[in-house]
Amino acid sequence: MYKKQTILLFAILLTLLSCGNEKNINKVDNETSKKPNIIILYVDDLGYADVGCYGAVGVKTPNIDKMAKNGLLFTDAHSSAATCTPSRYSLLRGNYAFRKNAAVLQGDAPLLIDTTATTLPKILQKAGYTTGVVGKWHLGLGDGNINWNEKITLGPNQVGFDYSFLLPATGDRVPTVFMENGTVLNLSKEDPLSVSYDQKVGNRPTGIENPELRKQVADPQHNKTIVNGLSRIGYMGGGKSAEWIDEDFPFVFTKKAHQFIDENHKNPFFLFYSFHDIHVPRSPHNSFKGKSEMGPRGDAIVQVDYVVGEIIKKVEELGIADNTVIIFTSDNGPVLNDGYLDQAVELIGNHKPAGEFSGGKYSIYEGGTRVPTIAYWPKTILPSKSDALMNQVDLVASITAMTNQKLPEDVIDSQDHWNTWIGKSKKGRDSMLEEAYTFAYRDHKYKYIQPKTGNNYDWIKNDKGINAGISSEPQLFDLKIDKGEKNNLASKFPEKVKKYEAILQNIINNK
């Protein structure tokens, strides 16, 4: 009798427990379906004040401004480095780029991210998202010995992206072809594609031999293979039928992005839309030519704004806008002359690409990494501004937390600031490392720049007119009163210099 009662009680308990479990499972399911779609709109070389809501003069950006007006505008948000490959590595990997010695890559460089490493898209795949990258890659492909005529099986699809449609490296580097899921598109077997960065391959004209065939005058580095009237870095043979048309980028990429969203909008998706604009060569489509007062560089910004509008329109049309977070930002600060003479310098007028900050692309000063950053999520992110110290390297940990996952141990530098990204908290980082051709350490007041000797960085200043911020002396600035980093306080506060140098060393040595 006693035994029977116990069994009965046990059975009731079991039923109750399993009911509870079912409820929990249902709860998780509901939450999964509510996970927001994530779109990162990653512009190339767009400076802090290159868009209207950050003070642009000479170009209008109504769609980006609308995002800012109805979303969250960050005033102190940073790319992790002042050039492309390192910034992209950090954003996707959650670690500072120096840990991987990441530097600007050639178009035939091997894949920089280990296929076993944690990445942002992998984290999202684990949370049930479908992931896609459309646009500029510039993180390497293959193993260092690419056969462009076969499927390349080391690339975005091996580090977490379910779908990829790429411009393999940059617009100014060969090969000038599109790739989809590892395969070069529109290639003919009769005309195989070859690429070399050492010697001439194929019979295309080069800028050195046939300067008259160029639409834009280019420096010696960019004076190699001419494709579509623009001379590029590197040599490319064959692959005639696969050549891209630079002017079509906004339409080609946006069409692919739309397709990806159309196909995946019923379940959570992550889209990394990585612009070619406003990188050189700037060759905007006829629809945007002359639409700014600043020549091709300004027109490329108008083109970016058009694409932003098209992406937002798409999520609105599908009725998923309220369930989609869109983060708009840039991979590094601005540059005018970056290898091609396209009137960017002559037509700049009163427009200040980096706003009140010094430096730009390549520079350790704030202009190198402080970039326009807007988070947009109708009804969840309320219109506001945030002065929080933010860094793109933190998206990995932030999104890991948002999707209720544990941060893998190979992610060292990324911090969870999800609530700040979506405006629910005002607190960002306490401090961070900045990376260009030297290191800097930032907190809320001071910025310390590590001295550097030995190399000549005058090329940045001479060619690009940018102050790279490199000095053989330590530099210390009080950003609260000196945003332009003009007044070096290092000799006034030697103990602070010592303290910050020690902290920097600890970060670098990962202690």
Q: Which residues bind ligand NG6 (CB under 6 A)?
A: 44-45, 83-84, 104, 138, 170, 172, 221, 233, 279-280, 332, 338-339
Tokens encoding 493: 């506060």
The residue with its CB nearest to ligand NG6 is 84
CA distance 416 to 432: 14
104 contact choice in ligand NG6, Ca ion, none (CB below 5 to 8 Å, kind-dependent): ligand NG6
User: How near is the Cβ of 71 to ligand NG6 at its closest, in Å?
Assistant: 25
The residue within the footprint of Ca ion, chosen from 246, 299, 331, 338 (CB under 5 A), is 331
Secondary structure (3-state) at 475: strand
User: How near is the Cβ of 333 to Ca ion at its closest, in Å?
Assistant: 9
Q: Which residue has the tokens 């102050």?
A: 467
User: Which of 155, 423 has the CB closer to ligand NG6?
Assistant: 155
221 contact choice in Ca ion, ligand NG6, none (CB below 5 to 8 Å, kind-dependent): ligand NG6
Closest CA to 447 of 508, 361, 369, 352: 369
Supply angle C-alpha 120, 307, 256, rounded to 5: 60
User: How near is the Cβ of 45 to Ca ion at its closest, in Å?
Assistant: 4
Q: Residue 231 carries which side chain, given as an amino acid letter?
A: S
User: Which of 52, 334 has the CB closer to ligand NG6?
Assistant: 334
The residue with its CB nearest to Ca ion is 84
Supply angle C-alpha 141, 146, 148, rounded to 5: 95
User: Which of 121, 339 has the CB closer to ligand NG6?
Assistant: 339
Give the 3-state DSSP-derived string for 241-262, with helices as H, strands as E and coil as C.
HHECCHHHHHHHHHHHHHHHHH
Query: DSSP states of 450-474 as a string?
Result: ----SS--HHHHHHH-------SS-
User: Which of 44, 394 has the CB closer to Ca ion?
Assistant: 44
CA distance 21 to 489: 61
User: Which of 162, 331 has the CB closer to Ca ion?
Assistant: 331
Among the candidate windows 282-290, 325-333, 435-443, 470-478, which touches Ca ion by CB under 5 A? Answer: 325-333
User: How near is the Cβ of 338 to ligand NG6 at its closest, in Å?
Assistant: 4
**Under 8 Å CB-to-CB from 422, ≥6 apart: which residues?**
72, 325, 375, 377, 380, 381
Query: DSSP states of 321-374 as a string?
Result: GGGEEEEEEESS---S-SSEE-STTTT-TT--TTTTSS--TT-SSGGGTB--EE
**Under 8 Å CB-to-CB from 433, ≥6 apart: which residues?**
96, 413, 439, 440, 441, 442, 504, 507, 508
Whether the Cβ atoms of residue 207 and residue 275 lie closer than 8 Å to each other: no
Tokens encoding 14: 């079991």
Q: Identify residues 8-67 at the interface with Ca ion (CB under 5 A).
A: 44-45
User: How near is the Cβ of 282 to ligand NG6 at its closest, in Å?
Assistant: 11
280 contact choice in ligand NG6, Ca ion, none (CB below 5 to 8 Å, kind-dependent): ligand NG6
User: How near is the Cβ of 156 to Ca ion at its closest, in Å?
Assistant: 18
Length of the chain: 511
51: left (phi over 0), alpha (psi -120 to 50) or beta: beta
- The DSSP letter of residue 36 is P
Sign, CA dihedral 172-175-178-180, equals: negative
338 contact choice in Ca ion, ligand NG6, none (CB below 5 to 8 Å, kind-dependent): ligand NG6
User: Which of 279, 429 has the CB closer to ligand NG6?
Assistant: 279
- Is residue 381 part of the contact set for Ca ion (CB under 5 A)? no
Tokens encoding 68: 């800012």
Which string of x and - marks every residue 225-264 that binds Ca ion (by CB under 5 A)?
----------------------------------------
User: How near is the Cβ of 256 to ligand NG6 at its closest, in Å?
Assistant: 21
User: Which of 72, 371 has the CB closer to Ca ion?
Assistant: 371
394 contact choice in Ca ion, ligand NG6, none (CB below 5 to 8 Å, kind-dependent): none
CA distance 208 to 192: 24
Secondary structure (3-state) at 143: coil
User: How near is the Cβ of 169 to ligand NG6 at its closest, in Å?
Assistant: 8
User: How near is the Cβ of 85 to Ca ion at its closest, in Å?
Assistant: 9
User: How near is the Cβ of 20 to ligand NG6 at its closest, in Å?
Assistant: 53
The residue within the footprint of Ca ion, chosen from 84, 230, 315, 490 (CB under 5 A), is 84
User: How near is the Cβ of 342 to Ca ion at its closest, in Å?
Assistant: 16
138 contact choice in Ca ion, ligand NG6, none (CB below 5 to 8 Å, kind-dependent): ligand NG6
User: Which of 338, 394 has the CB closer to ligand NG6?
Assistant: 338
Among the candidate windows 108-116, 177-185, 285-293, 327-335, which touches Ca ion by CB under 5 A? Answer: 327-335
507 contact choice in ligand NG6, Ca ion, none (CB below 5 to 8 Å, kind-dependent): none
Closest CA to 134 of 167, 96, 163, 165: 165
Among the candidate windows 180-188, 199-207, 259-267, 330-338, which touches Ca ion by CB under 5 A? Answer: 330-338
Neighbours of 373 (CB within 10 A): 25
CA distance 362 to 448: 17
E strands, 110-167, are 130-136, 163-167
Among the candidate windows 230-238, 323-331, 363-371, 447-455, which touches Ca ion by CB under 5 A? Answer: 323-331
User: Which of 48, 448 has the CB closer to Ca ion?
Assistant: 48
Tokens encoding 347: 């037509």
Whether the Cβ atoms of residue 307 and residue 258 lie closer than 8 Å to each other: no
User: How near is the Cβ of 409 to ligand NG6 at its closest, in Å?
Assistant: 29
Q: List residues near Ca ion by CB under 5 A.
A: 44-45, 84, 331-332
